[in-house]
């Protein structure tokens, strides 16, 4: 572990977290992967340990720790080999809760953020729409002001925690005439009349619930508007740097776990009278994979440090997700190959890893979109600035 970024306190936290995950989560993973439902008790256990509040203010029950504690949480979640479980945790903690903390007033933080930190309440972030994909500005969901309420109509899709969460952080157009500049953010209770969800059947991330959500004349109190009206697009863009870094860290950690497992397998598997880690062709393939992973990991730590210092490193965070998710797919593909026929068997971890990894270049902004964002910065000279 790099002493440049991690202190002794960080390392002790990692050890205790890994022990917690092995004892409290790993025994249930196979069940959750099969049922697609994460049982509620584990959320409260995460809350009791403080894992859901690492980055949040102490006044609302958080620990207000530096961003490298978050990185440790993300890395260790990947080592239990359930991309779905990891996604459910970080989508709640760093997507939904980020907006509650950054745009929510004291009323919203008390009502929604506090129980989110304790694990009593689970959230999801609803941006993507069936006809919009990565085109956030083109969303069709609307929120029309009527007295002291907003009436919300529309739909969202590919929403992690979209079925079993308790509240939804939702983007909707309050002024469709302004296009992307007419978006606002709301927090909506799951049991609100007119909210419905359909569970989607996915290739990977099987433990998490991913939903398509419909809003049919949902009445939302004006007090549940987060931040300023028509500033939602700026809020969404401001938090994308952290979301992209999270996806990048997930990717390098996933690849590192695959490499650790594959190295152990190669040291035990024999062919032609020797272990397969003695064959030059396989050794060099492994060396290339290890190199690719390590470069991404160290770059991701560098980006983490910049964000932790308060810098708006949107270019570097975008590069993190773009390169790390591609690397993860490439490395895990090679690791599966190094296991031969066993890599294709469900009882070995590479089969699930390969499915879970494939979402990396798609979710949270496709690689094609990310390349255009980077091109605008490095070719066109566009300067992205934080909204607040």
* Active site residue ranges: 243
Q: CA 204, CA 329: separation in Å to the nearest integer?
A: 13
Residue in this structure with the two tokens 């009791």, named with its chain if needed? 48
| CA dist., res. 310 & res. 363, Å (int) | 25
Euclidean distance between CA atoms 111 and 119, whole angstroms: 13
% helix, strand, coil for the chain, step of 5:
55, 15, 30
143 sits in which H/E element: strand 142-146
| Burial of 156 from C-beta contacts in 10 A (0-12 / 13-18 / 19+) | buried
| HSE toward the beta carbon, residue 100, CA cutoff 13 A | 33
d(CA 29, CA 242): 27
């Amino acid at each position: 572990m790099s002493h440049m970024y991690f202190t002794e306190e960080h390392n002790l936290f990692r050890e205790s977290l890994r022990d917690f995950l092995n004892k409290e989560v790993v025994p249930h993973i196979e069940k959750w992967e099969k049922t697609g439902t994460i049982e509620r008790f584990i959320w409260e256990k995460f809350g009791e340990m403080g894992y859901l509040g690492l980055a949040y203010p102490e006044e609302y029950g958080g620990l207000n720790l530096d961003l490298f504690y978050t990185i440790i949480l993300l890395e260790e979640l990947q080592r239990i080999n359930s991309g779905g479980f990891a996604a459910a945790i970080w989508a709640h903690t760093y997507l939904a809760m980020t907006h509650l903390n950054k745009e929510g007033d004291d009323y919203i933080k008390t009502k929604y953020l506090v129980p989110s930190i304790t694990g009593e309440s689970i959230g999801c972030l609803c941006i993507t729409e069936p006809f919009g994909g990565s085109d956030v500005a083109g969303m069709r969901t609307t929120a029309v002001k009527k007295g002291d309420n907003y009436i919300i109509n529309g739909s969202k899709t590919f929403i992690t925690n979209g079925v079993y969460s308790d509240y939804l952080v939702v983007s909707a157009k309050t002024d469709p005439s302004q296009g992307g500049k007419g978006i606002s953010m709301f927090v909506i209770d799951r049991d609100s009349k007119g909210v419905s969800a359909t569970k989607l059947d996915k290739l990977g991330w099987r433990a998490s619930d991913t939903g398509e959500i419909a809003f049919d004349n949902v009445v939302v109190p004006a007090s549940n508007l987060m931040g300023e009206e028509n500033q939602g697009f700026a809020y969404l863009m401001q938090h994308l740097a952290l979301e992209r870094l999270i996806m990048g860290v997930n990717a390098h950690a996933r690849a590192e776990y695959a490499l650790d497992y594959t190295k152990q397998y190669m040291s035990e598997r024999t062919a032609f009278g020797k272990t397969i880690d003695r064959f030059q062709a396989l050794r060099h393939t492994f060396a290339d994979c290890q190199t690719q992973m390590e470069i991404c990991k160290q770059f991701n730590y560098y980006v983490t440090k910049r964000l932790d210092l308060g810098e708006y490193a949107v270019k570097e965070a975008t590069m993190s997700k773009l390169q790390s998710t591609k690397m993860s797919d490439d490395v895990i593909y090679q690791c599966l190959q190094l296991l031969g026929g066993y890599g294709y068997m469900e009882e070995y971890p590479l089969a699930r890893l390969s499915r879970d990894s494939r979402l990396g270049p798609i979710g949270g902004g496709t690689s094609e979109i990310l390349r255009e964002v980077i091109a605008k910065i490095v070719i066109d000279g566009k300067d992205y600035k934080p909204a607040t």
